Amino acid sequence: MIKKTIIWTFVSITVSSFLFAQSNSKEILNEIEKEVYQNSQLEEMAVELIDGIGPRLIGTKNMENAHNWAVNKFKSWGIESENQEYGTWLEWERGVSEITMTYPRFQQLEGMQLAYSPNTSKKGVEAEVIILPENIKDSLEFAQWLNNVKGKIVLVSPYIPSGRPLHNWEKFAREETYIAMKTKIEKAKKEFQENIKRTGYNTRYTLTPALEEAGAVGIIMSYWSEEYGAQKIFDAKTKKIPTVDISLEDYGLLYRLVQNEYAPKVKIKARSKFKGTSKTWNTIATIPGSTKSDEYVILSAHLDSWDGGTGATDNGTGVLTMMEVARVLKKVYPNPKRTIIIGLWGGEEQGLNGSRAFIEDHPHLKDKIQVVFNQDSGTGRIVGLAGQGFLDAYDYLGRWLALSQKNVTEEIETDFPGYPGYRGSDHAAFVAYGIPAFYLESKTWDYRTLTWHTNRDTYDKIVFDDLKNNVLLVASLAYWASEEEEQVSRRQRKLKINEKTGEMDSWPSPGTPKRSFKEYK
């Protein structure tokens, strides 16, 4: 395995000969750079998509609006585009969430329903709050305890003793105080997970349905993202009772009151709606190729998002990047050698469903895809590129990077041949078929804690200077991938022995897309 920052000297002879054969390449790349920095439409598009349309949860009207917006935007640039249906989903509409503590005093609580949560009546539901028992012995003991939840609202997350992120403790506290708090939080999380494991259930899928079946009238959780005010907002697993997420601070308030026998009460009003069945799509745009029109370069990003925020960095920034790349290439490089496809996928958040469906529905493309570039790591400047287990990836990716503008590649660290992506984002859907598909890793900007799947994933977190950098980089890579004389190698590396199983890892297998809400649930 080769792991290094890009080395430019190794390609000097190749670069010279290639540039000699492509005499107009420098001019095209200069025009691309000029268009990127002088005529950017990123901010205009961001307002339209992130602020105007908003979050793009699969199965909502917003998601449909986003697909239609993208098609119309591509067409306004003279780029062929369409929405390709791949399934159906339960249509859900978010409504107002009102969560209040009504005893031992009144206090508005900060929170919202999880996606696909059942609603309440107009009056709402009011009940005493209880917590899960500590030190559960086994599943039999927990089954007996379930008799206590009837008519109650249940807290189902660990108690975190401080809403200050650890970086704040590290900055201001004495070292021993910081270490003590860090240890306390880690211990609380570990003990909670071990306790849940002994129940025979898990917090992600099975615990809340069990509580619902036992007669609970509401579920309150708090999935803190370890940054001030940031909460992870995913989906509910209940069928009839509301599931809400509240801030760490308010969750802690309720938890302590229960522990100290105040018997707090909470009222939940959740006015969401299930509205039947909606269609699911991928938006596919195409810039036809000239001499190798039956070979394809794919620019990939998922259009859907969770809906705690407005999906700005997950993955609005990836969508904006790939759309802007398409606009720039259509203007500067309108007749690429290979056909360029821009895939804006639906249902990535529920298991790469859109990209998996695209490959499954277009089997004739599998052997004709030159390369896939996928961006889904937030707003930051692209600084990482791995070979995804393709043995010869350095031979072409290293060369394309070397031929691109140094100002956008100088910070990129590479990992060749790397290891195949099994999941995580849409590149993995292609890698599973042995298609060279690459994940463009960005500077974090605290992505994982601040904006990834949180209520803080909003327009103001976008760093447009970094997006312009990424547009130029991807446009350059797409240009070189299109111009490459030969189809790139698909040879796969020898994988490692898995330490857990003692057996050789196998290349990821193609996943089956979930084409309906029923399959997802």
pLDDT of residue 117: 97
Domain borders along the chain are 2-91+277-483, 97-271
Q: Which amino acid is at 320?
A: L
pLDDT of residue 22: 53
* % the chain with pLDDT above 90: 94
What is the distance of C-alpha 82 from the center of its chain?
23
pTM greater than the 0.85 cutoff: yes
| Average pLDDT for 399-426 | 96
pLDDT band at 499 (very low <50, low <70, confident <90, very high): confident
C-alpha to C-alpha distance for 84 and 130, rounded to whole angstroms? 47
pLDDT of residue 442: 98
Question: Which tokens hold the place of 487?
Answer: 């189809």
pLDDT of residue 61: 97
| Average pLDDT for 444-459 | 98
CATH fold of the domain at 97-271: Glucose Oxidase; domain 1 (3.50.30)
Q: Is the pLDDT of residue 197 over 60?
A: yes
pLDDT of residue 483: 98
* % the chain with pLDDT above 70: 96
**Beta 107-108 vs 97-103: how paired, if at all?**
antiparallel
What is the distance of C-alpha 92 from the center of its chain?
20
pLDDT band at 2 (very low <50, low <70, confident <90, very high): very low
pLDDT in tens, 75-106: 999 999 999 999 999 999 999 999 999 999 99
Q: Is the pLDDT of residue 434 over 90?
A: yes
pLDDT band at 521 (very low <50, low <70, confident <90, very high): confident
| Average pLDDT for 495-515 | 93
CATH fold of the domain at 2-91+277-483: Aminopeptidase (3.40.630)
316-317-321-326 Cα dihedral, nearest 10 degrees: 0
Rg of the chain in Å (alpha carbons): 25
C-alpha to C-alpha distance for 108 and 366, rounded to whole angstroms? 54
pLDDT in tens, 36-48: 999 999 999 999 9
pLDDT band at 501 (very low <50, low <70, confident <90, very high): confident
SS3 512: coil
Q: Are 110 and 250 in contact (CB under 8 A)?
A: yes
pLDDT band at 399 (very low <50, low <70, confident <90, very high): very high
pLDDT band at 10 (very low <50, low <70, confident <90, very high): very low
Residue 25, C-beta contacts closer than 8 angstroms, at least 6 positions apart? 19, 403, 479, 483
* Mean model confidence pLDDT for the chain: 95
Q: Is the pLDDT of residue 475 over 80?
A: yes
pLDDT in tens, 121-177: 999 999 999 999 999 999 999 999 999 999 999 999 999 999 999 999 999 999 999
Which H helix or E strand runs over 299? Answer: strand 292-302
Q: Is the pLDDT of residue 364 over 80?
A: yes
Q: Is the pLDDT of residue 3 over 90?
A: no
Q: Is the pLDDT of residue 283 over 50?
A: yes
Kindly tell me the sign of the dihedral angle through the C-alpha atoms of 513, 515, 517, 521: negative
Cα–Cα distances in angstroms (integers) from residue 325 to residues 35, 74, 250, 329, in the given order: 10, 11, 43, 6
pLDDT of residue 5: 47
pLDDT in tens, 247-267: 999 999 999 999 999 999 999
